[in-house]
Structure 1
Amino acid sequence: MIKELAGLKTVCLNETKDAVVILDQTLLPEKEIYVSLFTEQDIWDAIFKLKVRGAPAIGIAAAYGIYICSSKIKTSSFEQFYNEFCRIKVFLSGARPTAVNLVAALDRMERRILLNKEKSVPQIKQELLKEALAIREEDATACRQIGENGLALLRPGMGVLTHCNAGHLAVSEYGTALAPVYLGQERGFGFKVFADETRPLLQGARLTTYELQRAGVDVTLICDNMVSSVMQKGWVQAVLVGCDRIAANGDVANKIGTSGVAVLARYYGIPFYVLGPTSTIDMQCPDGKSIVIEERHPEEVTDMWYNRRMAPEKVKVYNPAFDVTPRELITAIITEKGVW
């Protein structure tokens, strides 16, 4: 891991394992502040308010979170314990509906309970801790392999464009879309990265440029509407983006604006690569039309980041958090298993 990023712990447990500790990403890049989450409401708020974000990181936070909450259930009855666990699971799963990792991690935790239901409640709690730690370690391993598989498709000196933040801050280590960039940085590839600002929440401007600059990567920030211009100039030879859900047919949901980048990449003949762990593949979702797209508060468009409101009062606002890129616009999907 690049040493400049090693100190940034996106999601972890505290020493006493009674709280989830997250780096509050809503305060970046101005402040690096870690927040301890003790209750189910704390964890729900952190996920919904994007204090922790990125599909894999959300899954890890959910796994740690439901372990923390379950460890505080005071009963020796399996039935009572399991019923309370399921209540908390339903509550946490509603924090963000589009990223598949949230529900997938919670489902894994539930399966761990059911596989060990003959054990005592204290033993089951320890099994939940083991499962949560395994989810984190599997993500770290997957991210590095995603990086290796993605780097095999790139050449030294390339110009690379990315959208939103699919780097170290969105996962346990390295990232998904940015994993090849970081491996390339370690090996002297000298990539030149163009980062979309990613309106309205500015994850590209606030987070991607922050972590790339910290790691010493050559990064240039551009507004979302400048993508065509930099592609037209020949400055971009590949697009690398992450994903929040991959449908069974290969359609991909990712941060709003991704599909527009894909259209432009197709027009200019630039490879468009989607990078993510296999945990983001939802084989129960047949295609992109079946993906539930989260819609967020209008204030993120009209008020956030401005000293004063920038739109007329009562104007209608459409604020989807994600869009769907159809498979025919995707050159390849890159996972830890290989390149599809």
Structure 2
Amino acid sequence: MENQSLEQFVSFPDGVRVILDKVNKSGPLGTSAVVGLFVDCLLALTEDSSAQSSRELFCEVVDLMDYFDSTRGRYSVAVENSFRSLRARLNDFNQSREVQVLQELLSGWVNVVQKDRQRRLSMLNSKGARHLLGSEKVFLYDYSSTVMGVVYELMKHTSTLEVIVSESRTADGGKPIVEEAIKIGCDVSYIPDAAISQVMKGCNVVLVGVETVFPSGAFTNTVGTLGVAICAQYFGVPFVPVTETLKASNDMDENLDYGSVQKDLVDLLNNNWEFNKERVVTCYPAIELIPGALVTSYITEHGNINPDEFCDMAQLNEG
């Protein structure tokens, strides 16, 4: 992902600019991480902004939302979904009121969002663990904090659990899974991506994270997820994405040009290999679309949901 100019935020508090700089320089980030970083930014802005009027602070908040939405929210509907209630509150706010009133509104929104997210994740972890009880060997591809929350909860109810962790090399997403799985007491097998087909048959289930779910039941995630899904189907292993229903989209086009979000293989090389860059293409898409036909079901805070029912169920529960 290309870095975006942060010049418009030069007058923002240092705490906000530090977070934005981290976001700007990072490669693809999980949606949950992005939403969390926005909340951190908004809290820092609310507490430390030099704005002298509600109108000034109001504009800063809108600029912050628009930045996250146009960059990190471009391929993840959960970002804009997370902003919806805040935008509604701002639309109803009288900008002629004292700045302290707006600060209280923003602080209140942050508190509500944080509590609601904790509630959602607690429900998801509980229902996910209940669904997975009896599983002895779970395959994980690419790090997802949502997936690891379910694994952590599952470990409270089982004496042994082996997780098979693919290196997820394109995002280096396997290492953080291994580190976290060891801490919570899992037995761990760490394998190269090329060996996925060799271990899949012995697994009870495949768990992966999610960026966005579409009405067809398809979803987007880190490149490589489609290959894992195809392999799971071939060996008859349930392929179960884990996600909050916040990631449902009823209006985003699933046929976007995902190739515009690029990573470079050169960044993964640990040597001084020299080659003609004009003749060797090393870039590849960072995210991809996985058809709903490959999904067994989605684990959510509302229980397991069939792929083609996900968006309708999400809309019903949000309504």
TM-score range normalised by the length of the shorter chain: 0.7 to 0.9
**Comparing 100-109 and 137-146, the one that deviates more:** 100-109
Alignment match, 2:262:
296
Higher Rg: 2
Which stretch of the first structure deviates more once superposed, 58-67 or 243-252? 58-67
- Please give the alpha-carbon distance, in whole angstroms, between the structure 2 residues aligned to 1:86 and 1:100: 17
Tell me the distance in 1 between the aligned counterparts of 2:28 and 2:294.
29
Residue of structure 2 equivalent to 1:258: 225
Aligned mates of 2:117, 2:34 — CA distance in 1: 11
Match of 2:308 in 1: none
Structure 1 unpaired stretches of 5+: 1-17, 20-36, 168-175
Q: RMSD between aligned alpha carbons? A: 2.6
Equivalent residue number for residue 185 of structure 1: 155
- Is residue 43–residue 110 contact of structure 2 (8 Å, CA) maintained in 1? yes
Distance 1:293 1:82 in 2: 35
In the TM superposition, residue 312 of structure 1 has moved relative to its aligned partner by 4.9
Q: Residues 239-254 of structure 1 correspond to what in structure 2 (within 5 A)?
A: 239-254=206-221
SS of aligned partner of 2:284: coil
Which structure 2 residue ranges, 5 or more long, are not aligned?
1-11, 306-319
Match of 1:225 among 194, 209, 215: 194
Amino acid at match of 1:184: L
User: Within 5 A, what are the aligned runs for 1:1-340?
Assistant: 38-40=15-17, 42-50=18-26, 53-96=29-72, 97-117=74-94, 119-167=97-145, 176-204=146-174, 206-231=175-200, 234-285=201-252, 288-290=254-256, 295-298=261-264, 301-304=265-268, 306-309=270-273, 312-314=276-278, 315-340=280-305
TM-score (norm 2): 0.81
Over residues 297-326 of structure 1, what are the superposed CA-to-partner deviations in whole Å (9 max), with x where a residue is unaligned? 42xx11345143476534212321111111
**Displacement of 1:76 after TM fit?**
4.7
Question: Could you tell me whether the CA contact under 8 Å between 1:293 and 1:321 is conserved in 2?
Answer: yes
Aligned CA distance change for structure 1 residues 103 and 49 (closer, same or farther; 3 Å)? farther
Identity between Structure 1 and Structure 2 (%): 21
Instruction: Tell whether the 8 Å contact from 1:52 to 1:58 is kept in structure 2 after alignment.
Output: no
Greater helix content: 2
Q: 1:117 to 1:293 in 2, by over 3 A?
A: farther
| Contact 1:184 1:190 (8 Å CA) reproduced | no
Deviates further, 46-55 or 234-243? 46-55
State TM-score, norm by structure 1.
Answer: 0.76
Instruction: State the Cα distance separating 1:120 from its structure 2 match.
Output: 2.7
Residue identity matched to 1:83: C
Aligned length: 291
